[in-house]
Structure 1
Amino acid sequence: MADFLTTINGYIWSNSLIYLCLAAGLYFSIRSRFVQIRQVPEMVRLLLRGQKSAAGVSSFQALAMSLSGRVGTGNIAGVATAIAFGGPGALFWMWVVAFLGASTSFVECTLGQVYKTRDRLTGEYRGGPAYYFSTAMAHTKAAPLFKVYGVLFAAVTVLACGLLMPSVQANSMAAAMHQAWGVQEWAVALGAVIVLAFVIIGGVKRIAAFASVVVPFMAVVYILLALVIVFANASQLPDTFALIMRSAVGADAAFGAIIGAAVMWGVKRGVYSNEAGQGTGPHAAAAAEVSHPAKQGLVQAFAVYIDTLFICTATGFLILSTGAYRVFEGESASGAVLSDGGMLPSDVVVGPAYAQHAVDTLWGGFGSSFVAVSLGFFCLTTIIAYYYMADTNLRFLIGKYAPVQVPVIRGTVGSNTTLVLQALILVSVAMGAVSTASDAWTLGDIGVGLMAWLNILGILIIQQPAFKALRDYERQKKAGKDPVFDPKELGIVNATFWETYEPQSEREKASVSS
């Protein structure tokens, strides 16, 4: 079975997907006139000035929900894996895919807002690729095809977020805690299942509240500590940066033979970490209370920067500047060692242990515990975000059969399927914690790759409303207005939520602002 899954993963993550991610990001960057550069000040302003309502969360909470999905094991174990199998140059290609992917994230998340809907049962905003694929082209002859495409994406997302991807987070969390404290993997699995069971039953508001507190705090603490260690090795920074750049283009003799692997692992782990183009970000974006879809597009584009340019870079420099790395030939830990930083014991397994030993170079014995705690929070919030995405797509699939109340009531199609999903994700966590790292990562990569293929190809076809929204937003801002979205004025059809939407009054905003 392991060999079969590896073969499937090889087909999904072929060079074609790597080129698709890069080409789509470049195309969206050019078409948006590099919105990811021009609008950085506006991105920061928006994430600090959002509002929430009874139906939607604030921009900051939506950002936190999105980051809870983006910031996980990919930021620590994923970076270590990319360096181990792609060389230091993989970090450069993570930067490239983040920079280009920010424009992709803008497009997909703006579309998520344009075609969002209000959940008929909870009153909360829902949206994502399944919603915009099935809605955007509903007025054309291609409507039946895109309806099926939306159903296909929803089914793949339930499978990926409910079963395949949680196992990676649980596996890395268990590995880090075992390395730090000798805790058995089954004990980590049990603890994670108990915590997750409490949170996921509470719905989107509890998820948003949990993520808005935990994710920003842990991300800031992790970045600050990583920077302290990096600056303690400041004399190594010029050489570290030079090593990254030489390795990225094959100019370093030690890594010349794996230039292709550097690109492959940099893009693969970059997409796994920042999720730009994967289709996960639009789910959180759609949940936000905003007056214009482009607002969430900009906020979520900035989330890509936070994830990769801040957190992944902190991990990369932490590992490389302290010499806590080892690079293998053949993209496997069983291959010949091409380069050894000299600070890892010979028996260290590729993964979070790289970062743990890196922190230990400055504070002996502290590194393992700190990384284990960081991963614990990052992975738990990521799994919670996965559940929200899986639940959103499950509700899309079962439609009118969704449960009448939350928590679920037994005896209906909707309630039974929701129970199955909740059980599925908890089982995935338990099994992932006790499985091998290679098996867990293979499952996760399959889930990410399938979603990325479907989402990127789809948004390349239905992209137009996102750019209409961007131009409209910038026009209104230039006129000194707080932009308000009117799809009819822009010739955008099927955006039924916005056709009757009335922005909150200032008094309403104040009463519910966070």
Structure 2
Amino acid sequence: MQEFMDSLADQILAFNDQYWYLVIALLVIAGVYFSARTFLVQVRFLPEMFRSILERPGGDNSDHGVSAFRAFTVSAASRVGTGNVAGVALAISIGGPGAVFWMWLLALMGGATAFVESSLAQLYKERGKNSFVGGPAYYIRNGLRQPWLAAIFAVVITITYGFVFNAVQSNSISDSAQGNFGGSPTVAVVTGAVVALLTAAVIFGGIRRLSAVTNVIVPVMATCYIVLALVVVVINITEVPAMIAQIVGHALGFEQITGAAFGAALMQGMRRGLFSNEAGMGSVPNAAATAAVSHPAKQGLTQALGVYFDTIIVCSATAFIILLSNPQFGSENVEGVSLTQSALQAQVGNWVGPFLTAVIFFLAWSSILGNYYYGESNIEFLAGRKARPFIMSYRVLVVVCVFAGALGSVALIWNIADLFMGFMATINLIAIIPLGGLAVKLLKDYSDQRKAGVDPVFRSSNLPEAKGVTLWREGETEAMRVVNPQQ
């Protein structure tokens, strides 16, 4: 079985190594294009990003709204997960320190891309039963006027998040557990069974209190990891300049450019960066569309800041911790969360092993639940009122994938994730590049109102060239704080 998984992992890796040239090209084209069109919105509007997340709910029915800061902290907590802990370790293990440089570069370009896709998600959101709904499937169908491509994206995101990424999450939990309790198959089976049963209990409508508890525990766990990582970095602050030089040197050094290591660093940095901050992949817009804001650009700015927070702060802290342990680079023995775990233990003691396992469990399991709902919402987009039987089958497959993910090899699970992540990003980027002009005009409208000294409020009449917009009409509540299920 191990030989089969290794062989399959190698075959998928060989395909990814070719296909990801296209994905990277699209990411760079989109990042550079949107940066130019918005005159570096991710840099110029940095103060405005902080202003947007600190705004209090306003407008009609503001008592029912969620503050922008609370929405940001929830989003940040959901971003801090296996991508920051296991993904960074995997990138360094395969691509060396130079991979971190390419993660930084992707984040810098991705800030503009994140602004565009989240602003579009807000522009084309619709009223659901109890909340706003939206995302790439909606702006592809209504804005790009390509319902067939919207359907393909809905299918791909359902498979990617519901099945593949959930396998990644359970694999990270299993990898961490095996690092503490021995690497036997029994530990993997028990871990997979426990996570699968807990997941089934929630998604089949059972122990709802369990999922409610994660809403409290997850932000605490994410904060604990961030604080611990930053403390380790501060303690070793004198080593940081040398590590930055090592990262840049490995990324741009002549010996790396002429050898295979440059390609490995570039590929791993881009892949792990995209998995972590998700800028351009088309996942964050599904969540961005649900926010109640008075102007689409506000959510675009908030999500752009989220990219910086995720990659520049959290991923960098993890990378510094790993580099402090002088790990082996380019090893055939690919390491994920276990590398981060051993590096932390070397810095603060063995007690951090079980602690990190607990952190990974709650972060990854909460991601499993969030990933599940991404899939369910897109099944509802596809099937409408006839979605229920499809959703029941989907739930069963999610539980199976969660269990199977715990048993798979680290390399195989992450290679499959790279494959489907690439598919998602390709479709989303192809859609937002032609629609990006609308986001640029949204930014101008927002900027003009802010310069006039007013809190920006958007109405569809402000952007008549945007076709297929169903909300933001004259007469609707300015802040759009409440969704009336009866409408």
Q: Same fold (TM over 0.5)?
A: yes
Computed over aligned residues only, the root mean square deviation of the Cα atoms, in angstroms, reads 2.8
Q: Is the 8 A contact 1:130 1:154 kept in 2?
A: yes
List per-residue Cα deviations over 1:364-405 (Å, max 9, x = no partner): 21232222122112211222221121112111100232xxxx
Aligned residue identity for 2:50: V
Q: Check 1:21–1:211 CA distance in 2 against 1; reply closer, same or farther (3 A cut).
A: farther
Distance in 2 between the 1:505 and 1:497 partners? 12
Distance in 1 between the 2:479 and 2:122 partners? 20
Distance in 1 between the 2:479 and 2:114 partners? 29
How far 1:213 sits from its partner (Å)? 3.7
Q: Check 1:58–1:422 CA distance in 2 against 1; reply closer, same or farther (3 A cut).
A: farther
Number of the residue aligned with 1:447? 420
Number of the residue aligned with 2:138? 131
Aligned residue identity for 1:96: L
Q: Is the 8 A contact 2:137 2:154 kept in 1?
A: yes
How far 1:56 sits from its partner (Å)? 7.5
Out of 24, 31, 43, the residue aligned to residue 37 of structure 2 is 31
Matched, 1:80 2:89: yes
Out of 367, 371, 375, the residue aligned to residue 360 of structure 2 is 375
Q: Check 1:152–1:233 CA distance in 2 against 1; reply closer, same or farther (3 A cut).
A: same
Matched, 1:460 2:433: yes
Matched, 1:488 2:461: yes
Aligned residue identity for 1:333: E
Q: Is the 8 A contact 1:246 1:252 kept in 2?
A: no
What are the residue-to-residue correspondences of 1:303-452 with 2, within 5 Å? 303-323=306-326, 325-328=327-330, 333=332, 350-401=335-386, 414-452=387-425
Distance in 2 between the 1:129 and 1:208 partners? 27
Q: Is the 8 A contact 1:207 1:385 kept in 2?
A: no
SS of 1:327's partner is coil
How far 1:198 sits from its partner (Å)? 4.4
Distance in 2 between the 1:190 and 1:500 partners? 53
Number of the residue aligned with 1:100? 109
Aligned residue identity for 2:262: I
Number of the residue aligned with 1:476? 449
Q: Is the 8 A contact 1:197 1:426 kept in 2?
A: yes
What are the residue-to-residue correspondences of 1:40-439 with 2, within 5 Å? 40-49=46-55, 51=57, 58-60=67-69, 62-64=71-73, 66-67=75-76, 69-119=78-128, 122-137=129-144, 143=145, 146-182=146-182, 184-200=187-203, 213-251=216-254, 257-323=260-326, 325-328=327-330, 333=332, 350-401=335-386, 414-439=387-412
Distance in 2 between the 1:132 and 1:233 partners? 46
Distance in 2 between the 1:210 and 1:306 partners? 25
Distance in 2 between the 1:300 and 1:455 partners? 16
Matched, 1:16 2:22: yes
Q: Is the 8 A contact 2:293 2:479 kept in 1?
A: no
List per-residue Cα deviations over 1:46-65 (Å, max 9, x = no partner): 22335498997653454355
Q: Is the 8 A contact 1:207 1:384 kept in 2?
A: no
Distance in 2 between the 1:296 and 1:505 partners? 13
How far 1:187 sits from its partner (Å)? 2.1
Distance in 2 between the 1:468 and 1:157 partners? 28
How far 1:255 sits from its partner (Å)? 9.4
Aligned residue identity for 1:388: Y
How far 1:202 sits from its partner (Å)? 6.7
How far 1:194 sits from its partner (Å)? 3.4
Q: Check 1:210–1:270 CA distance in 2 against 1; reply closer, same or farther (3 A cut).
A: farther
Aligned residue identity for 1:149: L
Aligned residue identity for 1:468: K
TM-score (norm 2): 0.88
Q: Check 1:485–1:504 CA distance in 2 against 1; reply closer, same or farther (3 A cut).
A: closer
Q: Is the 8 A contact 1:77 1:172 kept in 2?
A: yes
Q: Is the 8 A contact 2:86 2:337 kept in 1?
A: yes
List per-residue Cα deviations over 1:16-66 (Å, max 9, x = no partner): 211221221111111111111122222223223354989976534543554
How far 1:473 sits from its partner (Å)? 0.8
Q: Check 1:417–1:63 CA distance in 2 against 1; reply closer, same or farther (3 A cut).
A: farther
Aligned residues between the structures: 467
SS of 2:457's partner is coil
Distance in 2 between the 1:505 and 1:254 partners? 51
List per-residue Cα deviations over 1:189-226 (Å, max 9, x = no partner): 232223333444679x9999767644443332212211
Q: Is the 8 A contact 1:486 1:499 kept in 2?
A: yes
List per-residue Cα deviations over 1:408-445 (Å, max 9, x = no partner): xxxxxx21111112222221111101111112112211
Number of the residue aligned with 1:405? none
SS of 2:292's partner is coil
Q: Check 1:219–1:242 CA distance in 2 against 1; reply closer, same or farther (3 A cut).
A: same
Distance in 2 between the 1:384 and 1:199 partners? 8
The gaps in structure 1 that reach 5 residues or longer are 138-142, 335-348, 402-413, 510-514
Number of the residue aligned with 2:485? none
Distance in 1 between the 2:39 and 2:441 partners? 13
Q: Check 1:490–1:453 CA distance in 2 against 1; reply closer, same or farther (3 A cut).
A: same
Q: Is the 8 A contact 1:79 1:315 kept in 2?
A: yes
Distance in 1 between the 2:190 and 2:63 partners? 38
How far 1:493 sits from its partner (Å)? 2.6
How far 1:9 sits from its partner (Å)? 3.1
How far 1:490 sits from its partner (Å)? 1.9
Q: Is the 8 A contact 1:181 1:369 kept in 2?
A: no
Q: Check 1:258–1:216 CA distance in 2 against 1; reply closer, same or farther (3 A cut).
A: same
TM-score (norm 1): 0.84
Aligned residue identity for 2:134: G
List per-residue Cα deviations over 1:227-280 (Å, max 9, x = no partner): 222233233222211111110102467996511221111111100111100000
Distance in 1 between the 2:175 and 2:117 partners? 34
Q: Is the 8 A contact 2:457 2:479 kept in 1?
A: no
Aligned residue identity for 2:167: S
